[in-house]
Structure formats: C-alpha cells, structure tokens
Structure 1
Amino acid sequence: MSENNKAVLEAANAAITEGNNEGFLSFCTDDMEWTFVGDKTLKGKEAVRCWMATAYIEPPKFAVDHLIAEGDFVTALGNITMKDEDGKAAHYSYCDVWRFRGGKIVELRAFVIKTETKDETSSAA
C-alpha cells in the first residue's frame, strides 16, 4: 500500500510541475485538507484549486531529497522554488506529510521555510 501511495504522490507532483493543477487534484479526495503549519488550512478540493490558481503563477520546481512511505502516509523532504508576487524566484525548504485514503490524497501538512540563496546571503554582509 505505501509503495502505491508513493507512486500516486510522484504522479501528482509531476502534474504540478507540468502546470496541470487539475491533474494534481484528480489524485485528491473532495474533502481533502491542506494545512500550511503556522499559517492556514485549505478545506476541500475547491479551496485547494483556488489557492493553486493564485500561488502557482508558474509551475513550481521541486527537488525531493527523501520520499518516505509507511502505511497511509508519505513524507517528502526537499526544496521548492516558485515565483513570488513580484515574479522573482523564491526558495523554500519543506517537509510535507501526506495522508492517503483509498489511494487518494486526503490530507497534507506542509512545513515550509523560506530560505536564502548564496547570492542573497553574500550581498547582505
């Protein structure tokens, strides 16, 4: 079961990187919840759809360092780059904990931290 969930998540994330938000949502239950820990919770597929339409100005770029699956959970650790409101690349480190029900994504708890690039760090000195 956990290997199947891992494959589902990989396919869902591939859809996001292709700019196919509806493809991603096809892997989700209608009652899914997406929690940005310390920020907000999106309840339901429609809320996630609306958020993706505004947050993903262009498809984000993922670099998954580890994908760990056990039972109904898959945990992804890595980095993501996406455009901010000004069109500049914003870099984040993340740990996503995905829960599955019946082979579909039912819950995401996203721990996301904005990071600086080396160029930004050196210019701040």
Structure 2
Amino acid sequence: MKSNNKIILEQANAAVIRGDIEEFLTFCSDDTIWTFIGDKQLVGKEAVRQYITKAYVEPPKFTVEILIAEQDFVTAVGTISLKNEEGNMVDYSYCDVWTFRDGKMAELRAFVI
C-alpha cells in the first residue's frame, strides 16, 4: 500500500507534467523551503512559483526510477529533461528528498547533476 505522502508527490508531479504550476503549488506548504544543494535556496510559494515559471519554459519530461517513503519523508530518484532558454533540451539526474508536514510538501533538498 502506498503512503499518503507518496501519493501526494505523484499527484504534484502529474500537475507539473501538465504544466499546471498553480495546482502543483497547492501541494506545497506556504512556507515551503527548496534547497538545491550547492546552488540556491527558495523560501515560500512565491519564490517557488517564480523559479518554476523561469526554469520550466515548457513542462519538463521526467522519469521517477525510485520512490521511497518513510515517515514524513519521500525520496525520488530519476531523470529530468528541461528546455533551456535557447530551446534545447538538457538532461539531468536528480535525487529529491521531500519532507512533508500536515499533508503538504514542506521542504525539498534537491541533488541535481
């Protein structure tokens, strides 16, 4: 049986694939914190909205290869392809560690290469 947090992340990912940023944000806590390890940190939904709007010129294509849920954490490992500002697809490997609070995605620690 899937954990509720795993289901929430899958629903949020589905919204991203459809390009529905506002629906995606409904799955995040208001004070969500996203840390891109070795790069930057975003604090709050508005910062995440601005980042996604800029980073996802069009909805990304991604594959989740591993999805592990334990207590308030969900870890996703996979690949993501994003179109850059020049219109070229760029492929990345990632490991996202999500912390959930009260049924919302409260924190992301993203390792992207």
Q: Could you state the TM-score of these two structures normalised by the residue count of structure 2?
A: 0.97
Per-residue deviation, 1:19: 0.2
Work out which of the two has the higher radius of gyration on C-alpha atoms and give 1 or 2: 1
Per-residue deviation, 1:93: 0.2
Per-residue deviation, 1:69: 0.2
Per-residue deviation, 1:85: 1.5
1:3-42 matched pairs, under 5 angstroms: 3-42=3-42
Question: Which residue of the partner structure matches residue 55 of structure 2?
Answer: 55
Q: Which runs of 4+ in 1 moved over 3 A?
A: none
Structure 2: which 5+ runs fail to align? none
1:77-88 matched pairs, under 5 angstroms: 77-88=77-88
SS at match of 2:93: strand
Structure 1: which 5+ runs fail to align? 114-125
1:37-96 deviation line (CA, Å, top 9, x unaligned) = 000000000000011111100000111100000000000000000101111000000000
Question: Which residue of the partner structure matches residue 100 of structure 2?
Answer: 100
Identity of aligned residues (%): 62
Q: CA RMSD in A?
A: 0.8
Q: Could you state the TM-score of these two structures normalised by the residue count of structure 1?
A: 0.88
SS at match of 1:23: helix
How many corresponding residue pairs?
Answer: 112
